[in-house]
Amino acid sequence: MGKNVIEKIIDSHIVEGVPKKGEEVGIKVDQTVTQDATGTAVYLEFEAIGFTDVKTEAVSYVDHNTVQVGFENADDHKYLRTVAEKYGITFSRPGNGICHQVHLERFAKPGKVLIGSDSHTPTAGGVGSLAIGVGGLDVAVAMGGGPFYLTYPKVIKINLTGKLQSWVSAKDVILKVLEILTTKGNVGYAIEYGGDGVKDLSVPDRATITNMGAETGVTGSLFPSDEVTRDFLRREVRENDWISLEPDPGATYDKVIDLNLSEIEPMIALPHSPDNVKKVSEVEGTRVNQVAVGSCTNSSYRDLMTVANILKGHVAYKDLEFGVAPGSRQVIEMITENGGMESLIKAGARIMETACGFCIGNSFSPGSGEVSLRTNNRNFKGRSGTSDANVFLVSPETAAAAVITGEITDPRKLESMGIKYEDVKLPDRFIKDDSMYIFPLPKEEREKVVVFSGPNIQPIPKNDPLPLTLKGFATIKVGDKVTTDHIMPAGQYLKYRSNIPKYAEHVFEPLDPAFASKALENKEKGFANFVIAGESYGQGSSREHAALCPMYLGVKAVIAKTIERIHLANLANFGIVPLQFVNSADYDLIDQGDEIEIPDIVKSLEEKKDEITAFDRIKNKEIKLKVMLTDRQRNFVLVGGLLPYTGKLGGKV
């Protein structure tokens, strides 16, 4: 039987387990990526485990916390630089760009397994890399030489036919995919793009599509590696990294979705979820206060030149603020060389740093109740830094149209204003400028490096072994689609990523500002905290802080209707037991504040029971729960998580 591309890559990397859908396998990791907001924890964990050598091709980026209000971010950057120098990690200096964009330009390779402590790591799927967003501890262990464990995914083929019309681009394709797949119910799947339509999508287009595949909750998305990939790598002056990687004839898929590119119209995601998708034409006329172009989804040379070309000779609509954050230094240099920067500046763009910035809500927050049109990938309530803002997600073309008209406008209408659509061609050679990297030092020089630490950089707290019986309270009950931005907000608190006790003060703040103090009080009295949740709990980012900080506050178990992949792994990694209701209706039985008990939980986990019983002592009800742990995860959950477990092995994996 022929294999698809995803199966080919996984099968050639398996070091543990058998290639069977739905079963856990361990795979060898070729490349690892971290960014600063998750990276400090990764390297603190790497050191705490006792690893001394990096076994992957590892790159550490600084792109999230670049605002530097106070000393904290700058100290983190210094820690990251010195720790990279000590252990042989390539360091991408702040100012070099957003990790996913830069990685795509300089490092991502077809056929390789890449894991990154950021959920949009699958951007590299645009060149046919099996790129997976994971929790930081998984990256730390892989860097130390350990396998990465994943559930062997079922594969959805998205069969592309036709060709995109003018004014319609890759962002509209992925928004269409999100309309079909939504942000929930896709755990256990990966997406492979194929079909005739693939050949007309450039690598930056493909990367926009695989980037935002993260929003569906799949393990990863990729395109085959074909002549288009080769051509992109040639333009990036690294054609030698190319290999051909196509599905075998007769390859099979678990699901096939046909998508005719010719029929796709400009699409838009309405507040407050990336799957709240409509055609732009359906919401035309809505007044827009702010437009932000950038983020790892749409900040490439192609995207910024497209906006620049549309805006040539126009100035941003009065009262509308317009910001542009280029994806990398390479993009800045290239758009400057090709006149794009001039046209953006003349259009009144506020040119922002090449960093995540507005996307993670640490700058350029909209005014209260305002409408912001953005080319990024997430529009969860409050993520922009303004709790009552309405954020819409759009393509660069639709963003540019609104800059001119001041309202949501189908970009195809620009033709009637005399604006011609220009299909931006990639430059024959991208500028290859590696001067902002610090590449690994020779071993003897590494030994002399002293790793910097600052007052805001605190050791990673370790969990205690799981108590024999869990007894405590449903300290919080939340609804469906609760994201990690709700659990552990980023934005203004990002600077506490290296200081868990401080950051933990804000756990669940957008949903229940009293949670952290209640949870800590329960913990101090010896009670466990339970989180009760609806469907698709832990959507969104890979931030392990959404498990690590609740762990610090004494959360021992999450009981949900369903839990998303990366968050579930993070819970297990930090010794929090992930449980799902056997009967979803039992969710309604529990109220916030109820007394909950799970007797003999340790015994049940040791006996490898798949189902356990919890008791709601207030309602006097029994609730059946499914244990969402593999045998491997049970071993470390029992001792308080992967950190104490791997630490005991003294850095041997």
Q: Measured from the CB atom, is 6 or 360 closer to ligand MIC?
A: 360
Smallest CA-to-CA distance from 608 within 635, 587, 582 is with 635
Among 332, 337, 370, 338, which Cα is nearest to 353's?
332
Q: In whole angstroms, how close is the CB of 299 to ligand SF4 at the nearest point?
A: 8
With CB cut-offs between 5 and 8 Å by kind, which of ligand SF4, ligand MIC, none does residue 376 bind? ligand SF4
Residues contacting 94, CB < 8 A, separation 6+: 36, 62, 63, 66, 77, 355
Is-contact 566 134, C-beta < 8 A?
Answer: yes
Helices 396-405 and 301-311: crossing angle, nearest 10°?
A: 30
Specify the residue, 204 or 224, whose C-beta has the smaller distance to ligand SF4: 204
| Nearest to 532, CA basis, from 485, 475, 582 | 475
Active-site residue identified among 30, 36, 76, 118:
118
Q: What is the DSSP letter of 32?
A: E
Cα–Cα distance list, 286 to 53, 349, 381, 417 (Å): 55, 21, 19, 19
Closer residue to ligand MIC in complex, CB, 338/492: 492
Q: Which is nearer to ligand MIC, 112 or 378 (CB)?
A: 378
Q: Minimum distance between the CB of residue 328 and ligand SF4, rounded to whole angstroms?
A: 12
Near ligand SF4 by CB under 6 A: residue from 8, 112, 120, 481: 120
* CB of 120 or CB of 235, closer to ligand MIC: 120
Q: Give the one residue of 34, 186, 376, 379 binding ligand SF4; rule: CB under 6 A.
A: 376
Select which of 506, 543, 565, 634 is catalytic: 543
| 3-state SS class at 396 | helix
Between 349 and 559, name the residue whose CB sits nearer to ligand SF4.
349
Q: Per DSSP, which regions of 561-628 are E strands?
A: 577-581, 595-598, 611-616, 621-627
Q: Measured on CA atoms in the order 389, 395, 401, 404, is the torsion positive or negative?
A: positive
How near is the Cβ of 526 to ligand SF4 at its closest, in Å?
38
Is residue 356 at the binding interface for ligand SF4, with CB under 6 A as the rule? yes
DSSP annotation of 588: G
CB of 134 to ligand SF4, least distance (A): 14
One of 13, 81, 230, 378 is an active-site residue; which one?
Answer: 378
Question: Residue 63 catalytic?
Answer: yes
Among 377, 384, 542, 633, binds ligand SF4 (CB under 6 A): 377
> Cβ 579 to ligand MIC, closest distance in Å?
24
> Which of residues 215 and 321 has its CB atom nearest to ligand SF4 in the complex?
215
Tell whether residue 98 is a contact of ligand SF4 (CB under 6 A). yes
- The CB-of-381 to ligand MIC minimum distance in angstroms stands at 14
Distances (CA, A) of 607 to 24, 600, 603, 611: 19, 11, 6, 11
536 CB-near residues (< 8 Å, 6+ apart)? 183, 184, 185, 217, 480, 481, 482, 562, 563, 564
- Tokens of residue 171, six digits: 């962002």
In 43-101, which ranges are E strands?
A: 57-61, 90-92
Question: Closest Cα to residue 653, out of 137, 145, 148?
Answer: 145
Would you count residue 324 as binding ligand SF4 (CB under 6 A)?
no
Which residue stretch of 137-145, 352-360, 438-446, 564-572 sits at the interface with ligand SF4 (rule: CB under 6 A)? 352-360
Residues in Cβ contact with 513 at an 8 Å cutoff, skipping those fewer than 6 apart: none
Interacting stretch for ligand SF4, rule CB under 6 A, among 158-166, 355-363, 605-613, 619-627?
355-363
Q: How far is CA 243 from the centre of its chain?
A: 26
Establish if 296 lies at the interface with ligand SF4 (CB under 6 A): yes
Give which of 272, 382, 269, 367 is closest to 321, Cα–Cα: 367
> Does the footprint of ligand SF4 cover residue 488 (CB under 6 A)?
no
Q: Is 64 a catalytic residue?
A: yes
Is 536 annotated as catalytic?
no
Binds 394: which of ligand MIC, ligand SF4, none (CB < 5-8 Å by kind) = none
Report, in Å, the least distance between residue 375 CB and ligand SF4: 10
Burial 610-634 (b: 16+ CB within 10 A, else e): eebebbbeeeeeebebebbbeebbb
Does a cis peptide bond (omega within 30 degrees of 0) precede residue 103? no
Of the candidate spans 138-146, 261-269, 354-362, 440-448, the one that interacts with ligand SF4 by CB under 6 A turns out to be: 354-362
User: Where do contacts with ligand MIC occur on this chain (CB under 6 A)?
Assistant: 37-38, 64, 118-120, 133, 360, 490, 540-543
For 651, other C-beta atoms within 10 Å of its C-beta total 16
359 binds ligand SF4 (CB under 6 A): yes
Residue placing its CB nearer to ligand SF4 in the complex, 25 or 296: 296
Selection from ligand MIC, ligand SF4, none that 542 binds (CB < 5 to 8 A by kind) is ligand MIC
Tell me the closest approach of the beta carbon of residue 39 to ligand MIC, in angstroms.
9
Strand partners, 292: 323, 374
Judged by CB under 6 A, the chain residues 54 through 93 that form the site for ligand SF4 are 64
Secondary structure letter of residue 258 according to DSSP: E
Nearer to ligand SF4, 139 or 356 (CB): 356
Beta bridge partners of 160: 259
Backbone angles phi, psi at 327, to 5 degrees: -75, -20
Three-state DSSP state, 238: coil
The minimum distance between CB 305 and ligand MIC, in angstroms, equals: 24
Number of residues that bind ligand SF4 (CB under 6 A): 11
- Residue 38 interacts, among ligand SF4, ligand MIC, none and using kind-specific CB cut-offs from 5 to 8 Å, with ligand MIC
Active site residue: 30, 63, 303, 410, which one? 63
**Least spacing, CB of residue 245 vs ligand SF4, in Å:** 25
Which one of ligand MIC, ligand SF4, none is in contact with 390 (Cβ closer than 5 to 8 A by kind)?
none
Instruction: Rank residues 4 and 123 by Cβ distance to ligand SF4 and give the closer one.
Output: 123
Residue 81 annotated among the catalytic residues of the structure = no
Rounded least distance, CB 380 to ligand SF4, Å: 11
Binding piece for ligand SF4, criterion CB under 6 A, among 163-171, 284-292, 353-361, 436-444: 353-361
Task: State the angle between helix axes of 203-212 and 99-106 in degrees (0 to 180), rounded to the nearest 10.
Answer: 140
Among ligand SF4, ligand MIC, none, residue 98 binds (CB under 5-8 Å by kind):
ligand SF4
Choice between 326 and 554, CB closer to ligand SF4: 326
User: Can you say whether residue 98 is alpha, beta or left, with left for phi > 0 and alpha for psi between -120 and 50 degrees?
Assistant: beta
Binding piece for ligand SF4, criterion CB under 6 A, among 262-270, 336-344, 356-364, 565-573: 356-364
295 touches, from ligand MIC, ligand SF4, none (C-beta below 5 to 8 Å by class): ligand SF4
What is the 8-class DSSP label of residue 147? P
Q: Which strands, in side-by-side order, build the sheet including 321-324?
A: 277-279, 267-269, 390-393, 371-374, 290-293, 321-324, 350-351
- The CA distance from 59 to 558, in Å, is 33
Question: Between residues 13 and 497, which has the closer beta carbon with respect to ligand MIC?
Answer: 497
Residues with catalytic function: 63-64, 118, 378, 541, 543
What is the contact surface with ligand SF4 in residues (CB under 6 A)?
Answer: 64, 98, 118, 120, 295-296, 356, 359-360, 376-377
